[in-house]
Amino acid sequence: MASLPWLEPSIEQFQRLLQSSRMPHAVLVAVDTGLGARNMLDELAARALCTSLTPLGACGQCKSCQLYRAGNHPDFYPIEADGNQIKVDQIRALTGNLTTTAQQGGKRLATIYGAERMNHAAANALLKTLEEPGENTLILLHTDIPGQLLPTLKSRCQQLKFKAPDEQQINAWLVAQQLTTDAMWALPVAGGPLKLADYLHNNYITVLVQFRVDWLSSLSTGHLCASLRDIGEEQITDALKVLYIVLMDDVKRLSVINGLSAAKVASLSGEIMAVCHTLTTMPSVNYLALCHRIVSTYQRLKAE
């Protein structure tokens, strides 16, 4: 795994908790998935389960470490959404497991990835366990959207401190991975530096660059480029996110010379974001009609 320097302070905080007598029963990990939340949970779980923890982290040698790395530690219970939701049955099964004795003599550990996806019944079922956790039980609750967690759940967890990297740190990280920083413009499409690094590795970035070129051309001529017309369903969201970036660049430029036009283009780009959001739940949005409409609306705004 590539090292993610912005995760380190939180991992160190967790390590200090593990080595102290103040280890809480539940820890909230509010780290964006695009910033390496899965890597973080994996690292925390390895440290929590290791029975000979070193100052640098899990020892990698003990029985617990070996079982964890092999993916069959009997006291480790990872939970994530089954479909769009984490369902009450998943949490009931988990809380049942957490009341049994740890087989390896260490902790029983649960990770709940994307805890904001717990439906109401699931959250309530978990709440009971957080109120009366069994001995030597640790629950790591991860969320991308802390605001969507029940306050009663949040208040029963200790939240790890986390500071998201700024653009400069992400740039430095890409350079350290021997990747070009020319692709920084596509960071919002990727949703984070890890995915952006993937895009550079598998050359998907060239697809995004082409989208950008084609959007600029479509907006200036008023005719939707063929490449944007024949786009595959799986790339629609990315194409629209690129369009959003193109329009927002335009807003920045326009705001210096024409505030009203800038506001209109901004509203158009806001609409695109809303459609992107809808697409995640309703893939049947009429993409082509939308694109034609955006291109012609843009032309009209420019003509005003």
Interface residue list for Zn ion (CB under 5 A) = 50, 52, 58-59, 62, 65
Residue 72 vs 203, nearer CB to Zn ion: 72
* Chain-centre distance for alpha carbon 217: 32
d(CA 33, CA 24): 23
The least distance separating Zn ion from the CB of residue 189, rounded to whole angstroms, comes to: 39
d(CA 33, CA 224): 34
Residue 58 vs 200, nearer CB to Zn ion: 58
Please state the length of the chain. Answer: 304
The least distance separating Zn ion from the CB of residue 267, rounded to whole angstroms, comes to: 55
The least distance separating Zn ion from the CB of residue 55, rounded to whole angstroms, comes to: 13
Residue 58 vs 140, nearer CB to Zn ion: 58
Helix axes 287-303, 205-221, angle to 10 degrees: 50
Residue 70 near residue 15, CB atoms below 8 Å: no
The least distance separating Zn ion from the CB of residue 109, rounded to whole angstroms, comes to: 13
Residue 6 vs 14, nearer CB to Zn ion: 14
The least distance separating Zn ion from the CB of residue 160, rounded to whole angstroms, comes to: 21
The least distance separating Zn ion from the CB of residue 73, rounded to whole angstroms, comes to: 11
Three-class SS state of 297: helix
* Chain-centre distance for alpha carbon 197: 14
Residue 50 vs 122, nearer CB to Zn ion: 50
The least distance separating Zn ion from the CB of residue 52, rounded to whole angstroms, comes to: 5
d(CA 111, CA 34): 18
| Torsion angle of C-alpha atoms 275, 201, 40, 16, degrees rounded to 10 | -140
| Torsion angle of C-alpha atoms 198, 203, 204, 208, degrees rounded to 10 | 120
**In the sheet that 137-142 helps form, which strands lie side by side, from edge to edge?**
76-80, 108-113, 137-142, 26-29, 158-159
Residue 65 vs 190, nearer CB to Zn ion: 65
* Phi, psi of 145, rounded to the nearest 5 degrees: -130, 80
Residue 17 vs 62, nearer CB to Zn ion: 62
The least distance separating Zn ion from the CB of residue 49, rounded to whole angstroms, comes to: 8
User: To which residue do tokens 């200036």 refer?
Assistant: 220
DSSP bridge partners of 27: 140, 158
d(CA 203, CA 229): 22
Residue 58 vs 115, nearer CB to Zn ion: 58
Distances (CA, A) of 83 to 41, 118, 203, 281: 20, 11, 29, 12
